[in-house]
């Protein structure tokens, strides 16, 4: 298979297209995590995007790359939620019809918000892979463009713009820890970071219950992996993307996994001591550092999403022991 091509120029071009359309999110020091780990840590707050997730970077960029005819026919996507929200929000601003296929187990908050943004939501299957297979057929039937949530070079380039901001906001960093499900963010970030700062380590983190990237790295090929229920539902993908794996595998320095207790502890600490509401996928990088699975002198941890069911989040936060009062974020 020919290796896909994605360069720093592609990511820079994506940033130019996205200027004024997605937020340049803050990247601030995290006193509570630094106190607990003894390391210098920044949080890259992509949970503060319009739709609460980094996913809208890639979604908006993919929409901007469509031809006029493709925009007129609309788009179809499969998503566990955040890609759908990004497409729905930016599709509305661009006048592009968006149809999203979600698994039936998608969080209710994401389904409701997606519909509220004007997208048509179709529920099908219990896994992302079920939804994706159906969405591809559905797109062909209605003549729309299928926009993959991660295995699309336009999407990957858009996600990579997060890294460009990080390198400007926290130039002291020596490590960035990137949550991985399908691999779009990881591939985009790794491409940009290794082009600009090859000395910076790129560490992938995924839930033990859905470790598809690790499985691909061990096998040295993309293949389905077992998926069990996880708090990081946004990372619960059975198979990493073919494009994303080829782009990321040679650029990632290490892969770690976190268990459900570690994810819950990260969600809890972020809520109680940093004032951050994070979904499980959004807290994965923090979980890896709190669990001692990633160390470094200066780390950036992306908070990739905040779209979590409020009741479930409260249950997780209230389940642990009492924590000290919230510590205010500090500027870098």
Model confidence at 129, in pLDDT bands (50, 70, 90)?
confident
Report the alpha-carbon distance of residue 303 to residue 244 in Å, rounded.
Answer: 20
pLDDT at residue 108 in the model: 82
Q: Are 6 and 145 in contact (CB under 8 A)?
A: no
Number of other residues whose CB lies within 10 A of the CB of residue 174? 14
pLDDT digits (tens, 9 = 90+) for 101-127: 988 988 787 788 899 999 999 999 988
Tokens 């996880």 belong to residue: 230
Residue 2 has pLDDT above 90, yes or no: no
Main-chain phi, psi angles of 312, to 5 degrees: -65, -40
Residue 81 has pLDDT above 90, yes or no: no
pLDDT digits (tens, 9 = 90+) for 136-174: 999 999 999 999 999 999 999 999 999 999 999 999 999
Provide the CATH topology of domain 55-146. Rossmann fold (3.40.50)
pLDDT at residue 1 in the model: 52
Model confidence at 56, in pLDDT bands (50, 70, 90)?
very high
pLDDT at residue 309 in the model: 86
Task: Give long-range contacts, CB 8 A cutoff, 24+ apart: 88-93.
Answer: 88/51, 88/114, 88/117, 88/118, 88/119, 89/50, 89/51, 89/56, 89/117, 90/21, 90/56, 90/59, 90/60, 90/63, 91/63, 91/118, 91/119, 92/117, 92/118, 93/21
Nearest to 84 by CA among 134, 148, 153: 148
Q: Which residues of 63-95 are buried (b: 16+ CB within 10 A; e: fewer)?
A: bbbbeeebbebbbbbbbbbbbbbbbbbbbeeee
Note the pTM of the prediction, 2 decimals.
Answer: 0.93
β-bridge partners, 85: none
Q: Where in the chain is the domain with CATH 3.40.50.1100?
A: 8-53+152-317, 55-146
Helix (H) or strand (E) holding 301: strand 298-303
Model confidence at 324, in pLDDT bands (50, 70, 90)?
very low
pLDDT digits (tens, 9 = 90+) for 243-280: 999 999 999 999 999 999 999 999 999 999 999 999 99
Q: Which CATH architecture has domain 8-53+152-317?
A: 3-Layer(aba) Sandwich (3.40)
Is 62 in a helix, a strand, or coil? helix
């Amino acid at each position: 298979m020919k290796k896909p091509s994605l360069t720093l120029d592609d990511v820079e071009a994506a940033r130019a297209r996205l200027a004024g359309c997605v937020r340049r999110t803050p990247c601030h020091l995290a006193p509570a995590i630094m106190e607990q780990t003894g390391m210098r840590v920044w949080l890259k707050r992509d949970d503060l995007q319009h739709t609460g997730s980094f996913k809208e970077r890639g979604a908006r960029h993919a929409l901007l790359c469509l031809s006029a005819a493709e925009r007129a026919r609309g788009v179809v996507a499969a998503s566990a939620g955040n890609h759908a929200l990004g497409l729905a929000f930016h599709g509305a601003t661009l006048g592009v019809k968006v149809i999203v296929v979600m698994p039936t187990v998608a969080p209710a908050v994401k389904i409701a918000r997606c519909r509220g943004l004007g997208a048509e939501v179709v529920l099908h299957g219990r896994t992302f892979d079920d939804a994706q297979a159906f969405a591809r057929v559905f797109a062909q039937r209605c003549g729309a463009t299928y926009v993959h949530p991660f295995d699309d070079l336009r999407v990957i380039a858009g996600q990579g713009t997060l890294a460009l901001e990080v390198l400007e906001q926290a130039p002291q960093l020596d490590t960035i820890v990137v949550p991985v499900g399908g691999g779009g963010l990881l591939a985009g970030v790794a491409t940009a970071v290794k082009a600009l700062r090859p000395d910076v380590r790129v560490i992938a983190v995924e839930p033990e219950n859905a470790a598809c990237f690790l499985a691909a790295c061990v096998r040295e090929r993309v293949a389905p992996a077992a998926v069990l229920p996880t708090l990081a539902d946004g990372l619960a993908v059975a198979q990493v993307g073919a494009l994303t794996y080829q782009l990321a595998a040679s650029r990632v320095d290490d892969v770690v996994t976190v268990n459900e207790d570690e994810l819950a502890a990260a969600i809890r600490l972020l809520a109680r001591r940093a004032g951050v509401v994070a979904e499980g996928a959004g807290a994965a990088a923090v979980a890896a550092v709190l669990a001692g699975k990633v160390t470094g002198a200066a780390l950036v941890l992306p908070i990739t999403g905040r779209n979590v069911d409020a009741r479930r989040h409260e249950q997780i936060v209230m389940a642990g022991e009492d924590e000290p009062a919230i510590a205010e974020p500090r500027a870098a």
